[in-house]
Amino acid sequence: MNRGLLIGFAIIVAAIVSVALMFGGIYNSLVQAEEKVSESWAQVENVYQRRLDLVPNLVETVKGYAAHERQTLDAVVQARSKITQMNIPHEVFNNPNALTQFEQVQQGLSSALSRLLVVVEQYPDLKANQNFLALQSQLEGTENRIAVERRRFNEVARDFNTQLRSFPNNVVARWMGLKRKSYFAADEGARVAPKVKF
């Protein structure tokens, strides 16, 4: 009987250790996945910061050529100012409303920059200026990087969300207090095809 009790105890201990190891593995994989989301978000912020850093130089270059386009220049400066004054929560991707607000402010800058580049078309000397051309090229490259990093962020967030919702991960995730990560969405109006007239 002593031997049977010892075997039963060993089985219970082995089961507890197996469950603990399984939960530990799940916990570690969820932590790694969440860190990938944080890392990807940091890269999104990095490319948005690059764009913010380019804006003052672009505005100063255009200002010398297009002095009477003050309203457009002011719109760019104000849009940039809104972004720098925005209090972004550390983990904005855990809050869909904060991410939407972040996207709207960034879209405001994108829109202002687009209007500025349309204004530039009216100034052939500015379009030929080497500083402006270099800044325009950097800005275009940065916009492409933003799109790439947003896509990568969405992929990493999708992987995390999938892992989070899978069983038995969802049990451990609930215990850890982990939440789904928000995605970047298409800009408003992106679903409406532009009308082209010839």
- Give pLDDT, residue 196: 39
- Give pLDDT, residue 32: 92
Mean of all residue pLDDT scores within the chain = 82
Looking at residues 87-110, what average pLDDT do you find? 83
pLDDT, tens digit, for every residue of 130-183?
888 888 888 889 889 999 999 999 999 999 999 999 898 888 888 888 888 888
**For residue 94, which of 180, 191, 29 has the smallest C-alpha distance?**
180
Q: How confident is the model at residue 186 (pLDDT cuts 50, 70, 90)?
A: low
CA angle, 55 then 56 then 57, to 5°: 90
Question: CA of 165: how far to CAs of 171, 173, 175, 178, 180, in Å?
Answer: 9, 8, 13, 10, 9
pLDDT, tens digit, for every residue of 1-47?
588 888 888 888 888 888 888 888 888 899 899 999 989 988 998 99
Q: Which residue has the higher pLDDT, 127 or 17?
A: 17
CA angle, 90 then 92 then 95, to 5°: 130
Chosen CATH of 2-176 out of 3.40.190.10, 1.20.1440.20, 1.20.210.10, 3.40.50.10470: 1.20.1440.20
- Give pLDDT, residue 191: 47
Looking at residues 106-121, what average pLDDT do you find? 84
